Each structure stands twice: as structure tokens, then as C-alpha cells.
Amino acid sequence: MASMQQATAHDATKGLVAAGLNTQTLAGSVATSTRIWPAIDMPEVKWTPAVERETAAIYERLKNVIPSVEWPFHAPYIHAINRIKKQRNAVILAHNYQAPEIFHGVADVVGDSLQLARLATKAEGDVIVQCGVHFMAETSKLLNPHRTVLIPDSRAGCSLASSITGADIRLLKQRYPGVPVVTYVNSTADVKAETDICCTSSNAVQVVESLGTDRVIFLPDEYLGKYVQTLTKVKLILWKGHCEVHERFTGEELRAYRDADPSVQIIAHPECPPDVLAEADFTGSTAHMIDWVKTRRPAKVVMVTECSMASNVAAEVPDVEFIKPCNLCPHMKMITLPNILHSLVYMTEEVLIDPAIAERARLPIERMINLNA
Ligand code: 13P
Ligand code: SF4
């Protein structure tokens, strides 16, 4: 019965769109591929005593990282988003690199790529709004084919994901017949569809070793691959994809931090080049870096990764001093409070994946999740 209702809604929408009609004004509704939703008016976004009062508890968490003069700009959006999120029965997933006003202000679930993929399988609600980049939204859609998955700006890409195509992998498989392909989740659905199993920076070594072969093709992050190679005997065949944020760090700049204060702790993400990781006291995924800081409580730390993450952790551990080399990910920063609100009101931009690709792309993610590494 449910699928019949969905089919009817979908067909109705297709009819309206095919006729070139605006479904919002015509039907007092908004349409996505799976459903027709009631229209919601864009609320007035205004700093009022009620907004101040009702967002006071959120500001209390953010006061160390957002100056009070900026709060009147964020708070009305946070207030409106949290209200409309309930009306839409939506859940907001946010990556650790999202800005603090999103991470602490409106997200229901936060985490690294692996945590977000796992939590996407358990997401409740009719709608998922992915505050992260496009490959993360695709992963959520692959794991939730019957839910509406929205990304507030579909141009939020990733230099790693755009470094390789499905056709490239097909050629590699011809060159190395029988060698399994492990693909970092920072990749498009098209690439995942050619893959045996996915990995993230949290579980890459375990995934590589789970295959029981002496060689694997490991794509597309060359630096993550080089790091994993230091931890396993399995021979990795690498691709030359790089993260445009992490490749900008240098060993030299980290030595300068340490020369200025030898007590400083340096922790780095494995997407960084080898000379950077050589300077690090700890290397791990974003979630592992956060755990490390929360558990060890160093007096001073340099988090060698996207800059917003340090602000997100700083909000929770005011006793730690963060020295921030501020490399921002331009793609992650395309997600903003105004476009999250727009997304929830107008139910855009919907993430859609060709069903034939989706069917194949889902498998390597499920294999990774089932590995439980
Ligand atoms: P993780 O959060 O999985 O460590 O990934 C970092 C990253 O660059 C995501 O784009
Ligand atoms: Fe891609 Fe790097 Fe941005 Fe992560 S930080 S989304 S890997 S470009």
C-alpha cells in the first residue's frame, strides 16, 4: 500500500513537472521523487527576544567559539531550522568539518565519514539533510533508497571524489586482473559501483587486510594509501588523488609550531602528505582525533586538518588551547545555515542516483559496514 501511495505521488509530480508547472504554487505543496510534501512558508528570520531566549542554551555551548556580536545573525536561522526540522520529520547529519553554528546548533547526528555512514543506516525520520559534501549525501541515499535525502548545496564536491571515474577503475581492473579494489568513501557512486569494498580513514587497514590477498588496488587517496602501507604487509597499488585541504600542510610549518613551543602536541589526519605525518604525535580519522583530544586533554594542540573541527572541539574542551593552522574546505563551507533552511522549506536539493548504479554502489558500503571494523 505504501509503495502504491508513493508511486501515485511520484506520478502526480512527474505530471506537473512535465507540464512545466511549479508544483509549489499549483498544489500548495512541494514534490520530491518519493513524495509530495505540504508547503511551508519561508519564516521570517529575525533576532527577537523570543529567539534570544529560546536559543540561549545553544549559545551557552558555543560562547567560546562564536563572539556574542555574531550570535544575532546565526540564532534566528538556528531557531527556524530546528522548528521546521520537526515539521518535516527530518534528521540533520553533519560531518565534523561543519561550522560550529551548524555542528552544535542544528545537527542531530555528528561524526566522521564512517560514523555518518553507520548512523545513516539507523536514521529515523522521513528526510535526511546531509550537512557535508556530495559523496556523503550519496552514501546516505544509497543506504536509504526510500527516504528523501537533501543536500543544501549540491555543488559541495571533493577533490578526492573528482580525481577518479568509474572508467578509470575499469582500466585499472584490466591492468591488474583479479586484484580487489578498495575505495575510500570519498568517491562518487559511479566509482563505488566498480569497487569491491569501501573504507574510511577510521578502518582502512582492517578493510585492506579483510580481503586476504597480498595486493589490493587502493583508491583514490595516495597519501592515505601511503599511510596505510606503513601499517600493513599487503601491497597497495595507489592512485594520485589528493585532498586539496590536507595536501597544503607542510612538515616545515609543523616544525615551526614545535620550535615555538616544544610542549605542543601535533595530531594529523592521514590525508596529509607523509612529511606532515612524520611530524605528528598521533594520526587518525577526524573522530579518532577528537577522541584523542578529549581523552588526553593536552595543554596545547595543533589539529592538522580542516579548521572548523578545532572550533567544534574547542567549544567542548575550553581547557585545551588550539593552535589553528586554518585550512578551510571550500566544499564543506558551501553548507550554511541559510541554505539548510532553504533546503528544509523547499525540499531541495534532492540527491538522486541512477538505480542501476545505486544497486552496485550500495554493496561495497554495506560490506564495509558489516565488517564492523
Ligand atoms: P573522516 O571524517 O572520515 O576522517 O574524513 C575526513 C574528510 O576529509 C572527509 O571529507
Ligand atoms: Fe574532500 Fe578534503 Fe574537503 Fe574532505 S576536506 S571534503 S577530503 S576536499
Burial label for 45, CB within 10 Å (0-12, 13-18, 19+), is middle
Q: Which residues contact 174 (CB under 8 A, 6 or more apart)?
A: none
- What is the chain's alpha carbon radius of gyration, rounded to the nearest angstrom? 22
Ligand 2: centre distance to CA 158 (Å): 5
C-alpha to C-alpha distance for 122 and 369, rounded to whole angstroms: 12
CA geometry: angle 85, 78, 351, nearest 5 deg? 45
Domain with CATH 3.40.50.10800 in the chain: 40-158+334-346, 167-243, 246-328
Residue 67: count other Cβ atoms within 10 Å of its Cβ. Answer: 8
Pocket mutation for ligand 2, best pick of 331, 333, 334, 335 (most atoms within 8 Å of C-beta): 331
- Which residue of 202, 248, 329 sits with most ligand 2 atoms within 8 Å of its CB, as the best mutation to test the pocket? 329
Residue located via cell numbers 529560546: 54
Classified by CATH at the fold level, domain 167-243 comes out as Rossmann fold (3.40.50)
Q: Give 310: exposed, middle or buried? Use CB within 10 Å, 0-12, 13-18, 19+.
A: buried
As a whole number of angstroms, the distance between CA 265 and CA 282 comes to 8
Q: pLDDT of 6-32, one tens digit each?
A: 333 333 334 333 333 334 444 689 999
Which residues surround ligand 1 with Cβ inside 6 Å? 96, 112-114, 186, 200-201, 243, 269, 271, 285-286
Q: In degrees rounded to 5, what are phi and psi of residue 218? A: -120, 115
34 C-beta closer than 6 A to ligand 2: no
Answer whether 244 contacts ligand 2 (Cβ < 6 A): yes
Supply the residue whose CA is at minimum distance from atom 6 of ligand 2.
Answer: 158
Tell me how far apart the alpha carbons of residues 34 and 54 are, in angstroms, rounded to a whole number: 34
Q: What is the assigned CATH class of domain 246-328? A: alpha beta
CB-based contact 58:48 (threshold 8 Å):
no
> Which 3-state string (H, E, C) describes 98-116?
CCHHHHCCCCCEEECHHHH
Q: Give the chain's largest Cα–Cα span.
A: 68
SS3 304: strand
31 forms beta bridges with: 36
Tens-digit pLDDT profile for residues 135-149: 999 999 999 999 999
Q: What is the pLDDT along the chain (373 residues), one digit of tens a residue?
A: 333 333 333 333 343 333 333 344 446 899 999 899 999 999 999 999 999 999 999 999 999 999 999 999 999 999 999 999 999 999 999 999 999 999 999 999 999 988 888 888 887 889 999 999 999 999 999 999 999 999 999 999 999 999 999 999 999 999 999 999 999 999 999 999 999 999 999 999 999 999 999 999 999 999 999 999 999 999 999 999 999 999 999 999 999 999 999 999 999 999 999 999 999 999 999 999 999 999 999 999 999 999 999 999 999 999 999 997 889 999 999 999 999 999 999 999 999 999 999 999 999 999 999 998 7
Residue nearest to atom 1 of ligand 2 (CA): 158
Query: pLDDT for 183-228, tens place per residue?
Result: 999 999 999 999 999 999 999 999 999 999 999 999 999 999 999 9
β-pair type (148-150, 181-184): unpaired
Cα 351 to chain centroid, rounded: 14
Which residue matches cell numbers 518519493?
34
**SS3 of residue 69 by DSSP:** coil
Please tell me the distance between residue 10's alpha carbon and the centre of ligand 2 in angstroms.
34
CATH no. for 40-158+334-346: 3.40.50.10800
